[in-house]
Amino acid sequence: MSAELAVVTGGAGFIGSHLAQALLAEGRPVRVVDNFSTGRRPNLPSGVELLEGDINDVAEQALRGASVAYHLAALPSVPRSVQQPLESHRATAQGTLALLGAAEKAGLRRVVFASSSAVYGDTPALPHVETMPPKPLSPYAVAKLAGERYAGSWASGGKLETVSLRFFNVYGPRQDPDSAYAALIPIFLRRLREGKRLPVFGDGLQTRDFAFVSDVVRGLLLAGSVAGISGRVYNIAGGRPVSVLETGRALAALLGRAADFEFLPPRPGDIRDSLADVSAARRDLGFSASVPLEEGLRRTLEAAAP
């Protein structure tokens, strides 16, 4: 029997390309869907089938013949969503709705939706548990929460199996440092190599829960295969809080340099502290992060070496 076709939307992006590579390593045929608004062609692993287009426009074509879809396509930026809320909604919430409708029509076994810890907002209680009331602060967070709720409604109606994963701060090779909305670690890495100060929005004592990309990919694969979890939402993270300043110092130390910070005003929509309770994912999926931060930073540095 031939292996089931897996579809990865946003598969030319940072996480999506690592997922596509892992699926290929399992001997699975993989179709990547990407419009390259943020994804990059060099990220695509050899052997994938590429469908170029916006998921809102090509959802039915994208899922033809597939058994499982991993939906990562989005505009992954809080600041950009504040500046362009309609664009963020279309790419993230509306795109998820289009995919779910097409998945039901195509008879897919399951859709795994990539959500975000941003849905928790500035909930003061830590760690964040999936049962907490969401308090999204940005249009991006609202759109991700909408995607979760859409996925849950398909599952509760018996129309399709869905699982949503709330990613926290994912990092690793292929994370784009050139975007105006780039994530913390690739920005710090680029600045350190250029001998520039590290930009910090706020006092730098705000905390993040980092997970190396290979751990996140394992969480995605488990969510696509474990039985009896349809309709559930899980945190996928490292389960350890690290301050922005501590992150900068750790990266600088690996490069044999001192961290010099430039403190800037806080950005609208940014949360103060982030820490995941991953006990539900451990119990139901068998998931736990295995790459410590220093090891993940070292691998990221080696992959980005000039």
The set of catalytic residues is 140
Question: Are the CB atoms for 274 and 168 separated by under 8 Å?
Answer: yes
d(CA 46, CA 221): 19
Residues with Cβ within 8 Å of residue 83, at least 6 apart in sequence: none
d(CA 163, CA 148): 9
**SS3 category, 305:** coil
| Cis peptide bond prior to 306, omega within 30° of 0 | no
**SS3 category, 101:** helix
